[in-house]
Amino acid sequence: MQIDVLTLFPGMFDSVLGESMLKRAIARGLLKVKVHNLRDWTSDAHRTADDKPFGGGPGMVMKVEPVYRALKDIKKGSRVILLTPQGRRLDQEIVKELAKEKKLLLVCGHYEGVDERIRSLVDDEISIGDYILTCGEIPALAIIDSVARLIKGVLGHAESAKHESFENGLLEYPQYTRPADFKGLKVPEVLIRGDHKKIEAWRKEKATERTRQRRPDLLKRKG
């Protein structure tokens, strides 16, 4: 998969893309990420990508012209997504949807928002939650990471993604590792005895129980 990112702050991506799973996925050629500086498509000496809002008000608004020029040059068959608090709220189903694409182009919003005409240039708008961030770079990284996990060969164990939170509409069951007894806090016996059918039943029960306690909305959605 190829993911392009259009941003005013390309340096924000260096450390995350250079570590852990994403670094390995890129090194192995399973994922290609190209970060583009939006200012490369500005037309003045100061490389201006924002301006004051018409009608007055605080802050600055991202200009439409640089985004238009950039998309014209780099879109090339990509699904273009604007990162904005006004978009669809990201969940695992949307992540699965995005993972089926061959190419994504993520447009990072900033300042007080984007010129409304930018919305006509994109295919989708996505938010990572009902809160405000300074910029769209953090949501872009969240999408890159969550989508990359679903690319075949990226995770060390092919079954890993199937048992994580939000798969099958449930939170993940409790996990344990050594030691079996830590200051009197013991691992449940069922996980130690090796009866895989009982382990599977325990995990399903605990996943349902945890979801009911912490995210009952997921159970309602599941029906």
Please list the residues that pair with 50 across neighbouring strands: 62
- Closest CA relative to residue 82, chosen from 110, 61, 59, 53: 110
Residue 27 confidence class, pLDDT cut points 50, 70, 90: very high
| Structural domains in the chain, sorted by start | 2-148 (3.40.1280.10), 165-222 (1.10.1270.20)
In this structure, what DSSP letter does residue 155 have? S
Residue 221 confidence class, pLDDT cut points 50, 70, 90: confident
The tokens for 109 are 């919003």
Tens-place pLDDT, residues 139-196: 999 999 999 999 999 997 665 656 566 778 899 999 999 999 999 999 999 999 999 9
> In sequence order, what are the residues at sequence separation of 6 or more whose Cβ sits closer than 8 angstroms to the Cβ of residue 119?
82, 125
In this structure, what DSSP letter does residue 107 have? E
Tens-place pLDDT, residues 58-91: 999 999 999 999 999 999 999 999 999 999 999 9
In this structure, what DSSP letter does residue 41 have? G
Cβ proximity of 123 and 77 under 8 Å: no
Q: What pLDDT score was predicted for residue 167?
A: 72
Sign of the alpha-carbon dihedral angle for 197, 203, 204, 205: positive
Q: What pLDDT score was predicted for residue 169?
A: 86
The tokens for 91 are 């969940």
The tokens for 134 are 């300074």
Sign of the alpha-carbon dihedral angle for 32, 88, 123, 7: negative
Residue 105: count of CB within 10 angstroms of its CB: 25
- DSSP notation for 97-159: HHHT-SEEEEEEPBTT-B-GGGGGG-SEEEESSSS--SBSHHHHHHHHHHHHTTSTTSSSSTT
What is the SS3 string spanning 182-219?
ECCEECCHHHHHCCHHHHHHHHHHHHHHHHHHHCHHHH
- DSSP notation for 3-16: EEEEES-GGGGHHH
How many Cα atoms within 13 Å fall on the side-chain side of residue 168? 13
Tens-place pLDDT, residues 94-111: 999 999 999 999 999 987
In this structure, what DSSP letter does residue 53 have? P
Question: Cis bond leading into 179, ω under 30°?
Answer: yes
Query: What distances in angstroms separate CA 12 from CA 34, 85, 108, one per listed residue?
Result: 13, 19, 12
